[in-house]
Structure 1
Amino acid sequence: MSRLLFPAAALLGIGVMLTPHAPAAQPAAEDTRLKNLFQSYLDEEFQKHPLFATQQGNHDFDDQLDDLSPEARAKDVARAKALVAALAKEIDVKKLSQDGRIDYGIWAHTLNYALWSAENDNRFEYDPRTYGEYISDSVFLLLTQSTLPRERIVENAAKRIKHIPKIVAAAKAGLKNPPAILTEVAIKRNIGAIAFYEKDIYEFAKETPGSEPLATPCKAAVEALKDYQTWLEKELLPKSKGEWRLGKEKFAKKLELELDAGLTADEVVKIAEAEADRVEREMYYVAKQLWSKLFPGKVLPPDDATGRHATIKAVLDELGKDHGKPETIVDDAKKTVSKIKDFIRERKILTLPDPDTCQIIAMPEFQRGFSAAYLNPAPPLDPKANSLYAVAPPPKDWPPARQATFFREYNSAMLQILTIHEAYPGHYVQLAYSNRNPSLVRKVLWSGSFAEGWAVYTEQMMLDQGYGDGDLSLRLHQLKFYIRAVLNAILDNKMHCANLTDDDAMKLLVGRGFQTEAEAVGKVARAKQSSTQLSTYFVGRTAFYRLRQDVQRKRGDTFNLGKFHEEVLSHGTLPVKYLPELVK
């Protein structure tokens, strides 16, 4: 799933409302006061960070781009510090309603997280990929998700593209000794960005190739990006000696901030290790039932650690032969959707969004290199816009053998699990529900642990309710997809805290996780490109699973699965630690 950008906080306009001698407010009034403060914060953020505005569905600044100079970013940090201090003084938390207290907690936590990141994990200094979001994603969003008239969208895009040389200049001024792997990914993505502005943009804009108003700014952008490409390759890459590992202390603090779930880094790993053992046992039980069908007459391996592992691997390898091709992967994903949606309706898993605005597309070249798929939801302030479920074919520069391993990983069964996770009833459905929640705080400052946790929870839930009619291949791949989420948390910790080598990481993913080489190589690279995000899947899923079990036990015969799901999703995409008090 794609992650939205949360720039450092802004303060403009809030000073008028932060009156030091305001009269005592009733709970409803204090909630309104908080709401107004947050709206003023957003108004300032949108003005100073046009990409953020576009991502949230505000189109007032679609023709502009952010000032990313070191000086501008320093002012962002100063405003954020002032706002944290002001909120603590001017909002009486005791007078807020339950929802108001939660919104206050989310906002204050987000501001503190942004300040910690600016000081300890500043992506504008160590991650060249960050500037790519402004270079290409900023315009791609306009052309694929804005609901403005097409002519206006094209005009805004043309004006926004004119700012790309400034983004390139900011990147050159801001980047300081990044890790080599991040620079390498940025180099590949920038090649995709050049191709986007040379050719692909006209297709997305539904304009004649080479026509105005896009042609002139695109030409200037391409010139700037080619110069940037040379700088990335010749100047930045040789100097990219930075350490991608966060280290134990920073990782522990960042994980606490990212998850906001009341768990420490050590606790997460301990729980994940035990769960990995349990899931592997369950995988063996399923694989053993498939053995005689796939290998008739062949003796089942011994029931010991080596034999159980061999059984699971042989069965998965055989099942993986049923897969598509690079040119069909998007159509293959589309074919899974109708069947999944019909099942959700028939079994009353929940009420699907109507109208359905989820589009399945091939992931653009300039966004590849991080994951095999993502869901970019309709923005909260423009909920009628399209949501994009993007699927990435294997990179074109991969040799045929490596491409083949990719498709053995994302075979016909796994593609169904992926669609459940990314779209129905996973990310697309959950975030569509989230956009209905009245809290602007929860719409904008959403929790990754909630979003990813829900998506992983739905994978098992769908099969438990009968999706696939007991297809053991589907169940084995669901378990494989889940153990991947469990191992993500272990990999995340050990790569950043325990100096886990690439070879040992591959052994963990290929050996314990039964991943193909191509998938494992990509995941090791992803662990280096991010920190703590890989832990959100397991921690979030654990929270949802435990909540479901607890609520179901307490409600007994009155428990209704569909109503439970809708109740859980009705509260917005908030930190999972709040769920037990909201869903009783």
Structure 2
Amino acid sequence: MPRFFVVLALLLGATLMTAPAPSPAAPPEKSAEDARLAKLFQTYLDEEFRLHPLFATQQGNHEYDDRLDDLAPAAREKDVDRAKSWLARLAKEIDVPKLSRDGQIDYEIWTHSLKYGLWSVVNDNRFEFDPRAYGEYISDSVFVLLTQSTLPRERNVENAAKRITHIPQVVAAAKASLKSPPKILTEITIKRNLGAISFYEKEIYALAGETVGTEPLATPCKAAVTALKDFQTWLEKELLPRSAGEWRLGKERFAKKLELELDAGLTADEVVRIAEAEAARVELEMYYVAKQLWSKLFPGTPLPPDDAAGRRATIKSVLDELGKDHGKPETLVADAKKTVDTIKTFIRDKKILTLPDPDQCKIIEMPEFQRGFSAAYLNPAPPLDPKADSLYAVAPPPKDWTPARQETFFREYNSAMLQILTIHEAYPGHYVQLAYSNRCPSLVRKVLWSGTFAEGWAVYTEQMMLDQGYGAGDLSLRLHQLKFYIRAVLNALLDNKMHTTDITDEEALKLLIDRGFQTEAEAVGKVARAKQSSTQLSTYFVGRTAFYRLRQSVQRKRGAAFDLGAFHEAVLSHGTLPVKYLPELVK
């Protein structure tokens, strides 16, 4: 389950006293068959860790930090055979009816992951069509050692030095495997590889706490730079000219992949139908908020007519004016940090849930070699090394952007939107949710976690926080929350249209700019992202819908006895599992 992406120095100021993390609820009674399943999964993991050292590191197992995966075609064929063997073994060795319900859910999650992986090899093989895949091993594999391992610094540096020696083999595997990838993926890889070269030439030493040009890093880094410069030439001169692959999945493959990715019991057509209705509803809500701000922002100017065009003009004009309140490239990380204390205080005072204590979330600037996909991400502490730091990475606009284009970026990620982004990525969004997930007793759910759950929770928290009073009724904050949410809704529509129809870039941009009120720079980036990925953009809306509906159902049944904080902690206590299981687990 490929969840190993993306970024973000200085521990967040822990000036707030947070309550100790709640003890997990007593686990349900386990059967002997549950124990057999858990033992089998541990055997499977041990095998996977030995063969896939980067996966081991990302999960917090540090036995193989000095090694890297064999990505050659023959090694990947053996991975396929092993996945098929494990499916057969599970069917033979596990008596599913004898499992507890929790055990059955773990069994279903594991077998689903194996089947999804096998489907992807045949229908969506990233090692053959996506040169970016090798960047995980070239750069991220070392970055994670130096930023998230809890081993002593000197040990991490030694492991990094040894791991770096394997980079030429990764480059060789890329050359042997990549056929005719989509042009946009090769172009992104060319930019990122330049960032990787710069990383190994100088940036790694500061990150590792070492003097530039000293051992044990100097010799392997020099060899890595030589290999990566050769790779750069190959990417530009050989791969790019033949990068004529189709990035669209097509209707049939997209529908099947979406079903596998979401694991939510919804078809592609159902997602589109629900998203279309929700987009219309949110547009109307945005208009009601914008109308209240109009006279304050444009005193004496008549409100546009109350028709479709006038309503959109009202929303756009108000957002354009509010967007002028923003930071600068050099202050983006500091600005993100400033939002944290206020948000955490509110969560504690309003009993939204119990915050993790100690706080292990760091806000960092996204490294160059990880940019080009999103403006921010949360890289959580590994499940097997939960005391490691979580990284909330934010990415300033690329340095080669013109001042005008940088301005549009900051009008999009203005002061209000930055607060919503921090709620989503950190508190009480991804960081808090995944910290809870790391306390779940199920190893299956810790390792094979659901992106639909994770993204859905993060989007759910944006509205929930404002509904509970965050921002004290600030209409600008509410309008930006709705803008951020309609982006999630439109992501699902864009995801589908980009991969199942012949929609043009111009039509896609119109969808995002006209209906989503996104700036041109943000919309251009999102269209590029839709070409670089498939189905992930749908997880935000589908997951949020599941959480919102569950909340409404539980609250109606509980009535006056409903406790919001208890509900949130109950939801998070079962791990990051497919959202289809939530109604039976959260009563």
- TM category, shorter: over 0.9
CA contact (8 A) 1:51 1:134 kept: yes
| Cα separation, 2, equivalents of 1:499 and 1:529 | 16
SS at match of 1:381: coil
User: Given the two structures, how large is their TM-score scaled by the length of structure 2?
Assistant: 0.95
Task: Please list the CA deviations of residues 55-97 of structure 1 after superposition, one character each: whole Å capped at 9, or x if unmatched.
Answer: 0000000000000000000000001011111111211110000
Task: Please list the CA deviations of residues 332-376 of structure 1 after superposition, one character each: whole Å capped at 9, or x if unmatched.
Answer: 000000000000000000000000000000000000000000000
Runs of 4+ in 1 over 2 A off after TM superposition: 2-5
SS at match of 1:328: helix
- Show the counterpart of 2:278: 275
2:71 is aligned with 1:68: yes
| Cα separation, 2, equivalents of 1:541 and 1:108 | 25
- Show the counterpart of 2:262: 259
2:380 is aligned with 1:377: yes
Map 1:136-215 → 2, pairs under 5 A: 136-215=139-218
| Cα separation, 2, equivalents of 1:83 and 1:175 | 28
- Show the counterpart of 1:107: 110
Map 1:483-562 → 2, pairs under 5 A: 483-562=486-565
| Cα separation, 2, equivalents of 1:183 and 1:211 | 33
SS at match of 1:33: helix
- Show the counterpart of 2:222: 219
Choose which of 567, 570, 574 in structure 2 pairs with 1:571: 574
| Cα separation, 2, equivalents of 1:4 and 1:402 | 30
CA contact (8 A) 1:380 1:435 kept: yes
Task: Please list the CA deviations of residues 91-148 of structure 1 after superposition, one character each: whole Å capped at 9, or x if unmatched.
Answer: 1110000110000000000000000000110000000000000000000000000000
| Cα separation, 1, equivalents of 2:179 and 2:47 | 28
C-alpha displacement at 1:264, in angstroms? 0.2
| Cα separation, 2, equivalents of 1:413 and 1:214 | 42
- Show the counterpart of 1:412: 415
Map 1:15-94 → 2, pairs under 5 A: 28-94=31-97
SS at match of 1:153: helix
| Cα separation, 1, equivalents of 2:402 and 2:532 | 23
| Cα separation, 2, equivalents of 1:467 and 1:72 | 52
| Cα separation, 1, equivalents of 2:483 and 2:398 | 23
CA contact (8 A) 1:27 1:95 kept: no
SS at match of 1:327: helix
| Cα separation, 2, equivalents of 1:27 and 1:169 | 47
2:3 is aligned with 1:3: yes
| Cα separation, 2, equivalents of 1:430 and 1:209 | 38
| Cα separation, 1, equivalents of 2:246 and 2:574 | 39
2:235 is aligned with 1:232: yes
- Give the gaps of 5 or more residues in structure 2: 6-28
| Cα separation, 2, equivalents of 1:231 and 1:148 | 36
Q: Which amino acid letter does the alignment assign opposite residue 43 of structure 2? A: S
SS at match of 2:362: strand
| Cα separation, 2, equivalents of 1:3 and 1:295 | 46
**1:346 and 1:27, CA in 2 relative to 1: closer, same or farther beyond 3 A?**
closer
| Cα separation, 2, equivalents of 1:396 and 1:497 | 34
- Show the counterpart of 2:310: 307
C-alpha displacement at 1:464, in angstroms? 0.1
| Cα separation, 2, equivalents of 1:234 and 1:412 | 43
- Show the counterpart of 1:9: none
The count of aligned residue pairs is 563
- Show the counterpart of 2:17: none
Q: Which amino acid letter does the alignment assign opposite residue 439 of structure 2? A: R
- Show the counterpart of 2:23: none
| Cα separation, 1, equivalents of 2:401 and 2:3 | 26
- Show the counterpart of 1:10: none
| Cα separation, 2, equivalents of 1:373 and 1:261 | 26
2:459 is aligned with 1:456: yes
- Show the counterpart of 1:285: 288
| Cα separation, 2, equivalents of 1:483 and 1:550 | 23
Q: Which amino acid letter does the alignment assign opposite residue 81 of structure 1? A: K
Out of 372-381 and 77-86, give the one that drifted further.
77-86
C-alpha displacement at 1:455, in angstroms? 0.0
CA contact (8 A) 1:124 1:175 kept: yes
C-alpha displacement at 1:4, in angstroms? 2.5
| Cα separation, 2, equivalents of 1:500 and 1:298 | 38
Relative contact order, CA 8 A, sep 6+: which one is greater? 2
Choose which of 104, 119, 122 in structure 1 pairs with 2:122: 119
Task: Please list the CA deviations of residues 534-563 of structure 1 after superposition, one character each: whole Å capped at 9, or x if unmatched.
Answer: 000000000000000000000111100000
C-alpha displacement at 1:27, in angstroms? 6.0
C-alpha displacement at 1:3, in angstroms? 2.7
CA contact (8 A) 1:62 1:160 kept: yes
Map 1:269-418 → 2, pairs under 5 A: 269-418=272-421
| Cα separation, 1, equivalents of 2:502 and 2:250 | 9
| Cα separation, 2, equivalents of 1:219 and 1:403 | 34
SS at match of 2:151: coil
- Give the gaps of 5 or more residues in structure 1: 6-25
| Cα separation, 2, equivalents of 1:359 and 1:259 | 29
User: Given the two structures, how large is their TM-score scaled by the length of structure 1?
Assistant: 0.96
C-alpha displacement at 1:28, in angstroms? 1.2
SS at match of 1:563: helix
